[in-house]
Amino acid sequence: VPAKTYDTGAYHEPGAIGILFKIVHAFLYLVQPNSFPQGKQIILFFNTDVLLPENVVLTLQAIYYEIGFIVSAALGLLFILLLPLVGLCFCMCRCCDNCGGEMHQRQKKNADCQRSCFATFLFVASLIIRQVVGVLCAYAANQHLTNQVRGAKKLVNSNFKDLKIFLNDTPAQIDYLVSQYNTTKDKALSDLNKSMLLSRCKMHFKAIRETKEALENVSVSVEVLQEGTERLHANLTDVKMHLSNTLNDSACSAAQAASTCNVIRNSLSQLNINANFSGLPGVSSQLAKVNDVLKIDLSSLVQKVSFNDTPDLVVNQTRNILSDIKTVLESIGSNITTFTKALPVQKILADLMIYLTQSEAYVQDYFPVVEQYDFYRWLGCLILCCMVVLILVFYYLGLLCGTCGYDKHASPTTRGCISNTGGNFLMAGVGFSFLFSWVLMIVVVLTFVTGGNVEKLVCEPFEDKNLFKILDTPYLLNQHWKNYLAGILFKNPNVNLTFEKVYSDCKENKGIYTSLHLEYLFNINEFLNISMYTEDVALRIEHIQINLSKIVLLDEIGKENLLNFSSSGIDGIDFSAYLTEINKSVTKVDLLSFANDLEARADQL
């Protein structure tokens, strides 16, 4: 029964979420480029009884590993502490009229340029930092997490359904495997009940006819090859003669063409036959002798003798032995069936089904609660995103009103309502930034530090199997167990059963019995291995003695015919000579390559 690796819903999505994942993963690698801790570095998280000097070293190693997250968290905490303090100081200064614009206006030459630069910087900073990277990414991540939680219900139900199907089908699959022995047993009994003597005689007679057909094919093939090589040799001779006549032309004696003509003239010796099929020995005499042998039908001669009584004769002489062999084969099937009935499969499956049903009911009962809390989380994140959007709106409205209502000829006391409203919007944006930015930073610090460590310490090691290597570290999870998984399953920590091996076997769709080494609980091979019975069956077959002296298969004519076949000279045919010539190329040079080379040299002339 193959094991099944159930889907966890982890996958890489295309589009915006995929791009966001790559951006976050690249930033995470920038903050934490260190590889997964190995060896003693991980013991710190599980063992608190190590010596003090080693504990200090391991602590320093853990700090070095987490230095990126520590620095990021420190910067976030510094922002959380300083921002409300700066906002408080700003508000106190505003209340004391010691902060902000003055009530008189000085016109400077670069005032317009300075004002434009400030407005542009505020617009670009708000657009990039707050909207694109901030609001959109936060909203996309928030919605994606909600979609994953909603999709988890369907995924969990599918996995529970698969597990139930697996448990329900296991008994039927065991019965199917047991029934496959009947196929082997029926074939063995069928062979024991048949006499194979007649069929083997016919098979040998058939070999004589196949020999005749093979000799005929050899004879015809040799004739075809000989005729073909003769025609090819004549054609090549004509070609060489024409080329020689052409090369004797006076044009080839010119200095520019002499070297090319000499090369062509020297290559003409390659236009010859390489394989000599005319020298192969013929097989006509052997074929004639085989034809003489086949003029007598040996199969009919065998049928004429008292061959029909042979099966009854064999059965009578081996009746007791065949009965014992059939009894042994039946006992093997009975032992296999008894073993399968003795296994506590039904009880184990029933207990697992009860546990599975209870787990499914528990999940179904509490999943609405999970969805409800996820809705609260989604709503809270949406409110935080809306607050960022609100601050963004205040800034943009302030820029818009300030730009539209600005009059450089008006004094601060005589400015219009639109200009003052723009200033109020900008100050409102600053005020809301001081009020809510530190709350957003708290959320960012907590989620980044927690999620980043989960990604680096759980997700990535799970993907590259380093996590399994840590779990399989001897005496790590239990100081007295070498292999923790084997200790849990078999109460024997010395069994070589590891998390990594079980996971790899499940990914390769191997059976649970093989993956979990369940032979340490119940060894099926002891019952299904029939090698213990084959020795007994082989001894009984060896003691079979059948007297066939009264049966005459062939008369004198048939025996003489077979002797003629043995002296037909087939064994004297030199087949190696045939193979040697066939493996040779027909000509000394590849004609196509020679023709291409000749055409190229002709173009030079």
Tell me the per-residue pLDDT of 321-343, one tens digit each, with 9 for 90 and over: 667 677 777 777 777 777 777 76
Q: Determine the average pLDDT of the residues in 43-59.
A: 57
Q: Say if residue 142 is in the same domain as residue 250.
A: no
| Residue 546: per-residue pLDDT | 56
Q: Say if residue 156 is in the same domain as residue 23.
A: yes
- Is the pLDDT confidence value at 149 over 80? yes
> What is the C-alpha separation between 85 and 90, in angstroms, rounded?
9
Q: Say if residue 166 is in the same domain as residue 22.
A: yes
**Beta-ladder partners of 474:** none
- 63-67, 85-89, 99-103, 269-273: least confidently modelled range: 99-103
- Tens digit of each residue's pLDDT (9 = 90 or more) over 471-483: 888 887 777 888 8
Of 556, 553, 558, the closest CA to residue 293 belongs to 558
> What is the C-alpha separation between 562 and 3, in angstroms, rounded?
60
Query: Is there a domain that residue 126 lies in?
Result: yes
Query: Quick check: 212 and 287 in contact, CB under 8 A?
Result: yes
Query: Quick check: 181 and 333 in contact, CB under 8 A?
Result: yes
> What is the C-alpha separation between 113 and 95, in angstroms, rounded?
30
* Chain CA centroid to CA 30, Å: 30
Q: Say if residue 353 is in the same domain as residue 409.
A: yes
Query: Is there a domain that residue 373 lies in?
Result: yes
> What is the C-alpha separation between 165 and 171, in angstroms, rounded?
11
% of the chain beyond a pLDDT of 90: 4
Query: Is there a domain that residue 447 lies in?
Result: yes
- Is the pLDDT confidence value at 113 over 90? no
- 99-103, 523-527, 565-569, 597-601: least confidently modelled range: 99-103
Residue 540 to residues 318, 321, 341: CA-CA distances in angstroms?
10, 7, 30
| Residue 133: per-residue pLDDT | 66
- Tens digit of each residue's pLDDT (9 = 90 or more) over 272-300: 888 777 777 777 777 777 776 666 665 55
Q: Determine the average pLDDT of the residues in 382-401.
A: 86
| Residue 460: per-residue pLDDT | 85
> What is the C-alpha separation between 347 and 343, in angstroms, rounded?
9
Query: Is there a domain that residue 57 lies in?
Result: yes
Q: Say if residue 58 is in the same domain as residue 151.
A: yes
| Residue 78: per-residue pLDDT | 93
End-to-end CA distance of the chain, in Å? 76
| Rama region for 186: left / alpha / beta (φ>0; ψ in -120 to 50; rest) | alpha
Q: Say if residue 364 is in the same domain as residue 246.
A: no
Residue 390 pLDDT class (50, 70, 90 cuts):
confident
Query: Quick check: 36 and 5 in contact, CB under 8 A?
Result: no
SS3 518: helix
| Residue 3: per-residue pLDDT | 40
> What is the C-alpha separation between 453 and 415, in angstroms, rounded?
54
Contacts of range 329-336, beta carbons closer than 8 Å, 24 or more positions apart:
329/185, 329/188, 329/189, 329/537, 330/185, 331/533, 332/181, 332/185, 332/530, 332/533, 333/181, 333/182, 333/185, 335/527, 336/178, 336/181, 336/527, 336/528
- Tens digit of each residue's pLDDT (9 = 90 or more) over 425-479: 888 888 888 888 888 889 889 988 998 888 888 888 888 888 888 888 888 777 7
> What is the C-alpha separation between 111 and 226, in angstroms, rounded?
106
Q: Say if residue 256 is in the same domain as residue 387.
A: no
Q: Which of 217-226, 355-364, 512-521, 556-565 has the highest mean pLDDT?
A: 355-364
464, 498, 524: which is the final residue of a domain? 464
Q: Determine the average pLDDT of the residues in 399-417.
A: 75
Q: Say if residue 362 is in the same domain as residue 449.
A: yes
Residue 208 to residues 25, 290, 574: CA-CA distances in angstroms?
76, 8, 19
| Residue 307: per-residue pLDDT | 47
Take residue 556 and report the two structure tokens written for it. Answer: 């004198």
- Is the pLDDT confidence value at 47 over 70? no
pTM: 0.53
Of 178, 502, 184, the closest CA to residue 343 belongs to 178
- Is the pLDDT confidence value at 542 over 70? no
Q: Say if residue 155 is in the same domain as residue 241.
A: no
| Residue 73: per-residue pLDDT | 92
Take residue 161 and report the two structure tokens written for it. Answer: 């359904």
Tell me the residue ranges of DSSP E strands in 218-318. Answer: none
| DSSP H stretches of helix in 66-136 | 67-95, 111-125
418, 436, 464: which is the final residue of a domain? 464
Residue 416 to residues 387, 429, 482: CA-CA distances in angstroms?
29, 20, 82
Q: Which of 50-64, 146-160, 344-358 has the highest mean pLDDT?
A: 146-160
Instruction: Pick 243 or 405 by higher pLDDT.
Output: 243
Q: Say if residue 280 is in the same domain as residue 348.
A: no
Residue 244 to residues 266, 272, 416, 584, 596: CA-CA distances in angstroms?
10, 15, 110, 27, 18
Q: Determine the average pLDDT of the residues in 529-533.
A: 66
Query: Is there a domain that residue 6 lies in?
Result: no
- Is the pLDDT confidence value at 310 over 80? no
Q: Say if residue 409 is in the same domain as residue 286.
A: no
Q: Determine the average pLDDT of the residues in 185-197.
A: 63
Take residue 399 and report the two structure tokens written for it. Answer: 């820029």
- Please report, to the nearest 10 degrees, the dihedral formed by the alpha carbons of residues 334, 335, 338, 342 taken in order: -170
- Is the pLDDT confidence value at 196 over 50? no
Q: Say if residue 460 is in the same domain as residue 361.
A: yes
Instruction: Pick 157 or 333 by higher pLDDT.
Output: 157
> What is the C-alpha separation between 472 and 466, in angstroms, rounded?
10
- Is the pLDDT confidence value at 44 over 70? no
- Is the pLDDT confidence value at 254 over 60? yes
Residue 164 pLDDT class (50, 70, 90 cuts):
confident
Domain span at residue 380? 17-99+118-174+344-464
- Tens digit of each residue's pLDDT (9 = 90 or more) over 14-39: 566 677 677 777 888 888 887 776 65
Q: Determine the average pLDDT of the residues in 143-162.
A: 88
| Residue 369: per-residue pLDDT | 92
- Is the pLDDT confidence value at 553 over 60? no
> What is the C-alpha separation between 233 and 238, in angstroms, rounded?
9
464, 483, 512: which is the final residue of a domain? 464
> What is the C-alpha separation between 471 and 519, in angstroms, rounded?
23
**Beta-ladder partners of 471:** none
| Residue 100: per-residue pLDDT | 57
Domain total of the chain? 2
Residue 583 to residues 383, 507, 578, 592: CA-CA distances in angstroms?
84, 48, 9, 19
Q: Which of 108-112, 118-122, 185-189, 560-564 has the highest mean pLDDT?
A: 118-122
Residue 123 pLDDT class (50, 70, 90 cuts):
confident
- 289-293, 402-406, 575-579: least confidently modelled range: 289-293
Query: Is there a domain that residue 131 lies in?
Result: yes
| DSSP H stretches of helix in 126-254 | 137-192, 197-247
Please state, rounded to an integer, the average pLDDT across all residues of the chain. 76
